[in-house]
Structure 1
């Protein structure tokens, strides 16, 4: 399997923090948090399969998690903290279940243990294969940001979407359709924070509550903003993440 596209920032001697992005975005999703993170930690940002040069994977979220574990192997990284948004968060949950010895802590941002009924995901995959991502941009922006938001995150998302392979995106949709970790949340044995956007319609607050109540000892933090809260409300997301990392380092 080819290596996921990735970037390392921060001091080489610092503990490693892996940052996973959401469906339809790139490793640049974490750019607002980098000034606070890439100093105390050696940040490893990666691109999802089929995104921004990463090879597509036609498989499950477990396969995506294995690819991240493989990236750690290739870079000679033994253990790391992990934070992920949406699909990136699901990958973190799968890593915690499949490779718990590789992680020191877990931060799940605007994500879910199950992303709704499979049907709409398969429909979206078929549509993207037929017409590409550009016709869906308006729908994405409506779901990912709160009504009336017109900050720099909008331009950032438009730029990121241009770097997504439609087939790779569709394969990710199919992986999300099959993902359901609800019955295994009790097996996650890592210090965990669940960060939820107060106005998130893609993974609403009740999804975050299922994660927080299902993972032993998990903390739930609700921040302003919608699904891409880290772009819309970077300060509160960064604060919650730094507090969690400092407490669990």
Structure 2
């Protein structure tokens, strides 16, 4: 297990691919770990130096009590990049991970070459819903999010057609640290980037999924319309496009990151 100390916590990370290749960083969604990108990275790792990591509160990284914020999670990632000597990278985030990506693109644009925002939103409300999620997990543990994983993160078609894949995602989510989930809920609850993202000038690929129940297509279209240099693409399937449409996502990313259209 490879860990590094950043902002008084330990971050678990994995670095793969040719050392001379452009660096591509993947940032996870809530209650997942870096393995959520396995199928995507298997397609891309011959062309990119790929950095994956478990964010604060995820996987094998430290999970201190919250609340967390998008700025804090972004600071963790910048600290990781600094520790690894990575000055400028391509960045792909999904859901919460993309929220972190938007924040860095807004506040530290010099760190990002190209940006991929998957299945995300500039604001996810109402705030009370995130407090309710956190309270449920505090009372009943991570089992409280089982319905959300199966009904909001994954499409009905995927759950029925690929039960093993659905169980893998479910096990990952239910095995996530309670403190990390609660802290991450606070970060999403308090985030509103609807206006700030209009300042982003970095080439950006916005990826939506047609059956995404967590961050619907309208959220992605808002982001794409707000960012001057954005390209929009839509895949089939549910919220976790890196699971349901890994090959399609990787193909779209490859074209975009190499300067071709998505």
TM range (shorter): over 0.9
How do 1:127-166 and structure 2 match up within 5 A? Answer: 127-150=136-159, 151=162, 152-166=164-178
- Partner Cα separation in structure 2 for residue 163 and residue 69 of structure 1: 26
Cα displacement (A) at 1:129: 1.3
**3-state DSSP class of the match of 1:5?**
strand
- 2:259 is matched with 247
Deviations 1:59-85 (A, max 9, x none): 310110011000001111111000000
Structure-2-length-normalised TM-score: 0.91
Matched, 1:33 2:40: yes
Q: Say whether residues 1:80 and 2:89 are aligned partners.
A: yes
| Structure 2: runs of 5+ lacking an equivalent | 1-6
Structure 2 counterpart of 1:113: 122
In 2, are the aligned partners of 1:197 and 1:229 still within 8 Å (CA)?
yes
Matched, 1:51 2:58: yes
The worse-fitting range, judged by mean Cα deviation, of 206-215 and 32-41 is: 32-41
How far apart, CA to CA, are the structure 1 residues paired with 2:133 and 2:170? Answer: 18
5+ residue gaps, structure 1: none
Of 11-20 and 205-214, the range deviating more from structure 2: 11-20
Q: How far did residue 47 of structure 1 move?
A: 1.1
State the partner residue of 1:234: 246
Aligned partner of 2:224 in structure 1 is 212
**Offset, 1:138:** 2.7
Q: CA deviation at 1:162?
A: 4.1
How many residues align? The count is 248
- Show structure 1 runs of 4+ deviating over 4 A: none
Between 47-56 and 83-92, the greater mean CA deviation after superposition: 47-56
The 3-state SS of whatever aligns with 2:46 is: coil
